[in-house]
Structure 1
Amino acid sequence: MAEKAKTESGNFLWETAKTIFWALLIAGVFRALFFQPFWIPSGSMKSTLLVGDFLFVNKMAYGYSYASCPSIKLGPIDIDAEDICGFLGDGEDRFLGGDPVRGDVVVFRHPVTGEDYIKRLIGLPGDEVQVIDSLLYINGEPVKVEDGGTFVETYEPQGRQGRPPLCSNGPVGLNGECAKTRIIETLPNGVSHVALDIRYQRAADDTGVYHVPEGHYFFMGDNRDNSTDSRFAQSAGGVGFVPAANLIGRADRIMFSSAGRSLLFFWDWRGDRYFRAIQRSKEQLEAEGS
């Protein structure tokens, strides 16, 4: 009897281990090929994306490269994405590739650190990009901008990092109203999106001309004064030009959102942002600012 119980216990443990193994394998394949989960850790993409937004990245949009595979870091285990999917190459060509569209919100692998970043695609290969007095120029032409009102949020530590926002009406006390100028920017291909500006002159508000190399892309955050992006060289801790092979996928829709520092704080969940499309029409953007 005891021998039978021992055998049944062993079978149960073996079946449980197999179930966990196959579940992890299926989840890993799904993540590598189709959709990758992504939490928004910083305010660089406000007001399009807020700290605590949760989304899935569409990996099928641009095809696959080495960056499509996840890096695995668990204690002493440190396996880079290139170690797993290096056979896909790190050049311009992508397997089953599709070209990104200017204005897409893209998750990509930082060319130096390997961290995942999310920004808006502004410059395509061969473009010239410049910022003059906070206004974006593409190929020598200023983009169309319209007044989008004022973006107001609470001045408080945000998300797991606990960083407070930058304000144009600062200094602002804790729990005070933090304001930024909200503009609606329309790119040359007609894609409109919101950009924020605190209206204080900063280094990235006036730049030289960036010549985007072939096979590379230029990215900027929508929260222009609080974004480490392609305006800053990689040698200075910025993003610089991003190779096509480093694109991971396109962010299409917010699935869940929480303003709290823990998911357990259900009172901080943002129900109005669930299943919200990231790319919205100009009319929707204008309505949100009214």
Structure 2
Amino acid sequence: MDFALLLVIAVGLSGLGYAADLLFFQKQRQKAVNQYTSKGPRSALDADVIEKLEKEPWWAEYSRSFFPVLTLVLVLRSFLVEPFQIPSGSMLPTLKIGDFILVNKFAYGLRLPVINTRFIEIDEPQRGDVMVFRYPVDTRLNFIKRVVGLPGDRLSYENKVLYINGEPAPQQFVAALPAGNPEHKLLLESLGDVEHQIYNSLTTGQNMREVVVPEGQYFMMGDNRDHSNDSRYWGFVSEDLIVGKAFAVWMHWEGWSSLPQFSDTRLIK
């Protein structure tokens, strides 16, 4: 069960509890207080009795406290911004393992939580965007890759070069990485107006024959080209699986043995 579903259930239950108490049980408590105070002269125990009669049950108190907070979290997470953590190196050097990123949830339109149906169209993914989506093979998982193919594009991958509609995506050599190890090289790739860095291994890679991206689908690739499980292996990403556009790294945290780092905050490009 994913977090979005748990959050929706929590909002629903706390909202029902809050509404039930406000519309019915609160009135019953006040009625009991009015009946008690109408019986005649008050004793010293009246204050304690009235306090007990007015006291909210635990479920009503929790519902009243948590409902607005959970609702705010649901709205922010579903329609504005959602945080994610990068679990793998498939997007190196753009994103590192342990990066905590922010994802714009309205860039590609507003979607209903859990079912992910778009009900307001705003924009469509553009070539070069770093996008979070539900893994087509197992939609319980979220993946993050770069959009390299739009609906109708013809794509192929030959000798470590991406071809889009018959034209190679321009690449510029930057450096051999890591220092002293020439097995990988750092390149600057251009996808339209978007320039971004990629890793390529110097070993022989797997070519991909030309494919045509269907309508309503997108072709995704990791920036760590030889170490990415992406559309080259499991196919296209349909529009209904889109989660949002990654736009910033706000924290890096290696794990429990280290402290979070906020010195590497940056925009994602």
TM-score tier by shorter-chain length is: 0.7 to 0.9
Q: For the Cα contact (< 8 Å) 2:217–2:239, is it kept in 1?
A: yes
- Label 1:217 to 1:23 Cα distance change in 2 as closer, same or farther (>3 A): same
Matched, 1:229 2:230: yes
User: C-alpha displacement at 1:46, in angstroms?
Assistant: 0.6
> 1 or 2 for the larger relative contact order (CA 8 Å, sep ≥6)?
1
1:40 equivalent in alignment to 2:86: yes
**Whole-Å separation in 1 of the counterparts to 2:178 and 2:67:** 47
**CA 1:26–1:142 in structure 2 vs 1: closer, same or farther (change >3 Å)?**
same
| 1:231 to partner: Cα distance | 0.5
Q: Specify the SS of the correspondent of 2:231.
A: coil
Letter in 2 for 1:183: L
Which of 137, 142, 145 is 2:168 aligned to? 142
Percent identity of the aligned residues? 35
Matched letter for residue 100 of structure 1: P
Contact map agreement 2:201 2:226 (CA 8 A) in 1: yes
1:96 is the counterpart of 2:121? yes
Q: In 2, are the aligned partners of 1:168 and 1:198 still within 8 Å (CA)?
A: no
* Match 2:135 to one of 110, 127, 137: 110
The structure with the larger Rg is 2
Q: Deviations over 1:143-164 (max 9, x none)?
A: 11111113439xxxxxxxxxxx
SS of equivalent to 1:112: coil
Give the alignment's TM-score, normalised by structure 1: 0.69
The SS at the match of 1:46 is: coil
The 8 Å contact of residues 168 and 199 in structure 1, kept in 2 or not, is answered as no
What's the CA shift for 1:191?
A: 1.1
Whichever residue aligns with residue 263 of structure 2, its letter is: D
* Shift in CA distance, 6/124, structure 1 to aligned 2, threshold 3 Å: same
Maintained 8 Å contact 1:168/1:181: no
Residue 19 of structure 1: aligned partner: 65
* C-alpha distance in structure 1 between counterparts of 2:239 and 2:138, whole Å: 16
Residue 261 (structure 2) pairs with residue 265 (structure 1): no
- For structure 2, the residue ranges without an aligned partner over 5 or more in a row are 1-44
Give 1:1-290 correspondences, 5 Å limit. Answer: 10=56, 14-65=60-111, 69=113, 81-82=114-115, 88=118, 95-114=120-139, 115-152=141-178, 180-187=184-191, 189-203=192-206, 206-232=207-233, 238=234, 240-259=235-254, 261-262=255-256, 265-266=258-259, 269-274=260-265, 276-279=266-269
CA RMSD, Structure 1 to Structure 2 (Å): 2.5
Instruction: Answer 1 or 2: which has greater helix percent.
Output: 2
Aligned residues: 222
Letter aligned with residue 185 of structure 1: E
**1:235-267 per-position Cα deviation (integer Å, ceiling 9, x unaligned):** xxx2x11112221111111111112x22x621x
Q: Is the 8 A contact 2:93 2:197 kept in 1?
A: yes
Summarize the Cα distance change of 1:9–1:200 in structure 2 as closer, same or farther, 3 Å threshold. farther
